[in-house]
Chain A
Amino acid sequence: MQEHGFSSGLKAGASIAIGYFPVALTFGLLAKTTGLSLIEATAMSIFVFAGAAQYISLSLITAGVLPVLIVVNTFIVNIRHFLMTAALNEKMEPDARWKKALYAFGITDETFTVLATQPGDKIRTSFAAGVIVISYGSWVVFTSLGHLIGASLPAFLQASMSIALYAMFVGLLVPSMKGNRKVVSLALIAALFNSMFYFTGWLSTGWAIMVSTLASAIVIEMISRKGVAA
């Protein structure tokens, strides 16, 4: 077996699977209370596989919003993935377009961050497949389970596990931050922009993350090219 292939990907994606567990479980439960059947809730996780957009769709269904507007909203929430997959493309090994079209389905905020922060030059397609399979599996299985059980975790565990994905983001960021002022600045500036958008309410979450990220990436690049930072 080659290194950094499918099974390494499964390992690297384990944190995502843990983080998706409470989120998917709660989604299944909320879907049930919204009136979705087990099949409908699971189908949404199988075909859409986008946490934030799925959650929002439930509240919009409850509010009686037109389905076509829910679709439009889903697109708006997910526009940020244009930026992420364009960035990811620089990191992935060249491969047949059909394979890339296939694993593109599995790119979420979480799988993107795990893939894009891997050390080394290029990521193999099989590694990406591993990260995606374990994440997607967790998302779909625990959506069903949440609907079936119709209850969430004990309150203290539900509360503590809600940190999981954020802890993962921190765990991915910190090793690159050490001794690298450019990485620290990139994360810090994006965090400040995003906080500004959040507290002023100027942009909704999906847009805010994309604009903050892009602004930080461009500003820091311009500064570091002048030899000030980095």
Chain B
Amino acid sequence: MGAWFWWMIFGMAVVTYIPRAIPLTFLEGRELPEAVQNVLRNIPYAVLGALIFPAVFFIQENVWFGVIGAVSAFAIAFAGANVILVVLGTIAILSVYGLWFG
């Protein structure tokens, strides 16, 4: 790669940083309207829904990987396990599935 690559990295770094930094710094100490605050409080749970579905089904070409993974993760999480156990447990289940049926 030539010098252009470093200019590109610089550009990518700047445009990635802007959407991260502007709200956090600009909104500091400002009170948003109640209605906006309420919507913003909903964002984390909505984001999680959108981040999980439908992408989880396409982690491998074999769609069953995603289906079994999603079901396992929800089952382990509903059983009351903490996040790290959900992650490790789901990986373990898919490893077994992959070794036997992959």
Query: Does chain A bind chain B?
Result: yes
Question: Cα distance A160–B77 when bound, in Å?
Answer: 18
Q: Are A36 and B1 in contact (CB under 8 A)?
A: yes
Q: Using C-beta atoms within 8 Å of the partner chain, give the interface range for chain A.
A: 35 or more
- The answer on a CB contact under 8 Å between A194 and B54 is yes
- The DSSP consensus for interface residues of chain A is helix
Cross-chain contact B49 with A160 (CB below 8 angstroms): no
Docked CA distance A49–B16 (Å): 8
Smallest Cβ-Cβ distance to B90: which chain A residue = A167
Tell me the A140-193 residues at the B interface (CB within 8 Å).
Answer: 155-157, 159-164, 166-176, 178, 182-183, 186-193
Please indicate the chain B residues that have their CB under 8 angstroms from the CB of A202 in the complex.
Answer: none
Q: State whether A171 and B83 are in contact (beta carbons under 8 Å apart), knowing that A85-B20, A87-B41, A164-B91 are contacts in the complex.
A: yes
Q: Could you say which of A43, A83, A174, A188 has the most chain B C-beta atoms within 10 Å of its C-beta?
A: A174
With contacts A87-B40, A113-B51, A162-B60 taken as known, whether A217 is within 8 angstroms of B46 at the C-beta atoms is yes
Give residues of chain B (35-89) contacting chain A, Cβ–Cβ below 8 Å: 35, 37-56, 59-60, 65-66, 69-70, 72-74, 76-78, 81-89
Residue of B nearest to A107 (CB): B20
Residues of A within 8 A of B33 (CB): none
Cβ of A186 and Cβ of B42 under 8 Å apart?
yes
Interface size on B, residues (CB 8 A): 78
Contacts between chains A and B (CB distance < 8 A), count: 300
- Which chain B residue lies CB-closest to A193? B50
Q: Which residue in chain B gives the minimum CB-CB distance to A37?
A: B1
Residue on A nearest B85 in the bound complex, by CB: A171
Most B CB within 10 A of own CB, among A57, A89, A214: A89
Q: What's the nearest-Cβ distance from chain B to residue A40, in Å?
A: 6
Residue A195 CB within 8 A of the other chain = yes
Of A82, A166, A188, A214, the most chain B CB neighbours within 10 A belong to: A166
Q: Is A213 an interface residue (CB 8 A)?
A: yes
Q: Are B25 and A101 in contact (CB under 8 A)?
A: yes
Q: Which of B12, B23, B74, B95 contacts A71 (CB 8 A)?
A: B12
Chain A residues whose CB sits within 8 angstroms of the CB of B49 once the complex forms:
173, 186-191, 194, 212-213, 216
- Please report A residues at the B interface, Cβ cutoff 8 Å: 12, 14-15, 18-19, 35-37, 40, 43-44, 47-50, 53-54, 57, 67-68, 70-72, 74-75, 78-90, 92, 94-95, 97, 100-101, 103-105, 107, 109, 112-114, 116-117, 155-157, 159-164, 166-176, 178, 182-183, 186-195, 198-199, 208-209, 212-214, 216-218, 220-221, 225
User: 12 new A-B pairs (CB below 8 Å) besides A162-B59, A190-B50, A214-B43?
Assistant: A14-B84, A40-B1, A53-B12, A80-B19, A81-B20, A82-B22, A82-B23, A85-B19, A105-B21, A113-B44, A166-B51, A170-B86
In the complex, 7 of the A-B residue pairs with CB atoms within 8 angstroms, ordered by the A residue number, are A12-B83, A15-B87, A104-B21, A116-B47, A167-B69, A171-B77, A189-B49
